[in-house]
Amino acid sequence: MGRILLRNISLDGRKCDIHVEGAVIRKICGAGSACPGTAADGVEIVDCTGKTALPGFVNMHTHAAMTLLRGVGEDVSFSNWIDRIWETEKKIDEEYIYWATKVACIEMIKTGTTAFYDQYWIVPAAERAVREMGLRAVLSYVHLDHYDREKAMAQRRECEELFAESSGWPDTVGFAVAIHSVYSVSEEQILWATDFARTHGLKINIHLCETEQEVKDCRARHGASPVKYLDSLGVLGPDVTAAHTLWVDDEDIGILAGRKVTCVHNINSNMKLACGYRFRYNEMRDAGINLCFGTDGCASSNNLDLHEAMKTAALVQKAWRGDPAAMPLDELIRMATSNGADAIGINAGKIEEGRLADILVVDTGSSFFLSNAPFLANFIYSAHSDCIDSVICNGEFVMRNRAVPMEKEILAEAGRILKKY
């Protein structure tokens, strides 16, 4: 890793220089006190006049390799959709996961994501792809036994083996445990996965209260909502990230807050599959729950653009509440950055001295930024993610001037893989 000096860049409305050394933001110098550094000193000086710095986005719920599953289930119900997904996934292999995850990394880089929390199959192939693309990720092993004990035992063995292998991963990629959902995983397996994660200090993620039917079925089977059921098993805690949490009542919210569970809003996926749209943001925020954004996988959301998700989430929240002040700009950007970074335990999500150097360089030289509106208003509501000119992750450029290294070659190889399916 080298040294980078982002010169004359705008940060929080002021001009400054940002000095990156190794993986860390070493110094931020204000206007009139430029950070020292020359090319002769081995510093790469980047003129950022007309550009603004933002923290890299943290996508808190993905199934990255679903980039090659777009269109598998269009205009169908959730139950029909997920059956198609599970059937299709029986055919995928390591090569598929590797190239599909590389495609996902390209898409996330180009839309501003520098770290993501993934839940998908054949984790070693995904790890290799993420490492080579230069992003951060937490990759979780998925427990999904469909109440089949033989499958459950096999998944336990594989989880143990992969955890052991993960000790050799770089510090930019973490290992976690996923419990797919209360409707697809046996109680015995839920308890085993939870105990394994806690024994080894791993984070846990789960799909939770994604559909109204899930809640109804759980009440019929266990006499409680999914939240209450998991709490009765001792699953919920500050190490848990729950994706969706769309169909929750006041008591559920109180439990999630009390257990310090992080909840992830996946607006585009929820609306496209007609799961719902009334995410109880105000109630969860006011209860003290850490709230983040996710895109879900491309088979349901169709893209991994967290910038788009921010705008959609805010517009929908304002509309169904009849409140134009709902989900304000400062809360939106925290949900996309620092809240996620805190949840997965990385020192990122803010541009400050000592933080990890995960930085977006936003080009403001377009019509979208001409007005005197606050920068975040123009960025989120007016511009599109292609205003993100360059991306730094872990102190290294992973995109410059909208160009991601080997993009064309990766897309061509992924296209070849797709022809096999």
- Please name the residues in contact with 419: beta carbons below 8 A apart, sequence gap of 6 or more: none
Write the DSSP string, 130-169.
HHHHT-EEEEEEEE--TT-HHHHHHHHHHHHHHHHHGGGS
pTM higher than 0.85? yes
Q: Which two tokens stand for residue 17?
A: 């220089």
Q: Which two tokens stand for residue 386?
A: 């292609």
Q: Which pLDDT score, from 0 to 100, does residue 126 have?
A: 98
What one-letter code names the amino acid at 216?
Answer: K
Strands (DSSP E) contained in 31-155 are 43-47, 51-55, 57-62, 113-119, 136-143
Buried b (16+ CB within 10 A) or exposed e, 145-157: beeeeeebeebbe
Q: Which pLDDT score, from 0 to 100, does residue 375 have?
A: 98
Interatomic CA distance for residues 265 and 291, integer angstroms: 7
∠ CA 200-294-299 to the nearest 5 degrees?
105
Q: Which pLDDT score, from 0 to 100, does residue 33 have?
A: 72
102, burial (CB in 10 Å: exposed 0-12, middle 13-18, buried 19+): buried
| Residue 249 near residue 225, CB atoms below 8 Å | yes
**Token pair 């943290």: residue:** 58
Q: What is the pLDDT along the chain (421 residues), one digit of tens a residue?
A: 679 999 999 999 999 999 999 999 999 998 667 777 777 678 999 999 999 999 999 999 999 999 999 999 999 999 999 999 999 999 999 999 999 999 999 999 999 999 999 999 999 999 999 999 999 999 999 999 999 999 999 999 999 999 999 999 999 999 999 999 999 999 999 999 999 999 999 999 999 999 999 999 999 999 999 999 999 999 999 999 999 999 999 999 999 999 999 999 999 999 999 999 999 999 999 999 999 999 999 999 999 999 999 999 999 999 999 999 999 999 999 999 999 999 999 999 999 999 999 999 999 999 999 999 999 999 999 999 999 999 999 999 999 999 999 999 999 999 999 988 7
Q: Where are the domains of the chain?
A: 3-55+350-407, 57-344
Q: Which pLDDT score, from 0 to 100, does residue 405 have?
A: 98
Interatomic CA distance for residues 207 and 182, integer angstroms: 8
| Sign of the CA dihedral running 281, 284, 285, 290 | negative
Interatomic CA distance for residues 116 and 294, integer angstroms: 9
- Please name the residues in contact with 411: beta carbons below 8 A apart, sequence gap of 6 or more: 103, 106
> What are the C-alpha distances in Å from 50 to residues 122, 366, 371, 404?
43, 10, 14, 21
| Residue 155 near residue 146, CB atoms below 8 Å | no
Buried b (16+ CB within 10 A) or exposed e, 37-66: beeeeebebbebeebbbbbbbbbbbbbbbb
Q: Quick one: how far is CA 33 from the chain centroid?
A: 36
- Please name the residues in contact with 331: beta carbons below 8 A apart, sequence gap of 6 or more: 285
Q: Which pLDDT score, from 0 to 100, does residue 31 have?
A: 67
> What are the C-alpha distances in Å from 316 to residues 149, 244, 329?
42, 15, 14
What one-letter code names the amino acid at 123?
Answer: V
CATH topology of domain 57-344: TIM Barrel (3.20.20)
Interatomic CA distance for residues 286 and 238, integer angstroms: 17
* Domain 3-55+350-407 classification at class level: mainly beta
Interatomic CA distance for residues 142 and 159, integer angstroms: 8
DSSP category for residue 366? S
Interatomic CA distance for residues 114 and 137, integer angstroms: 8
Q: Which two tokens stand for residue 193?
A: 């996965």
Task: Give 278's Cβ-side CA count (13 Å radius).
Answer: 8
